[in-house]
Amino acid sequence: MLNLKLNPDTAKLKPEHFISHLFEKQNSNNYAKLFDDTLMDIAINNNDIFSVKTEGGAKILLFDRVSEFITDISKRNDFCRAIINQLIKFSFEEMRSDKV
């Protein structure tokens, strides 16, 4: 049995957080909400690892609900789809310096 130990600073992700999952779900009617909810879930689940603290000690989450920056509500789904369609093409493996 392989006992794999991850660095404690490694992000904790659920299968529904994966880019491939978001890519598969991009035709859902309320995709922007799904996209934003996923970002927020990742941020909340990894708050102890990745949050930044203000001078007063308050934690700032890693992500915001990015679709809400799009003023035209009818364009939010398309905006989030455009993001995920670019990310699905990107190879994160190639940018790792510690390839296993």
What is the C-alpha end-to-end distance of the chain, expressed in Å? 19
pLDDT at 74: 97
- CA-wise closest residue to 44 among 58, 62, 32: 62
What does the pLDDT look like over 64-90, one tens digit per residue? 999 999 999 999 999 999 999 999 988
- Sign of the alpha-carbon torsion through 67, 72, 77, 80: negative
Which one is predicted more confidently, 30 or 7?
Answer: 30
Tell me how far apart the alpha carbons of residues 77 and 62 are, in angstroms, rounded to a whole number: 21
The structure's pTM equals 0.79
pLDDT at 99 over 70: no
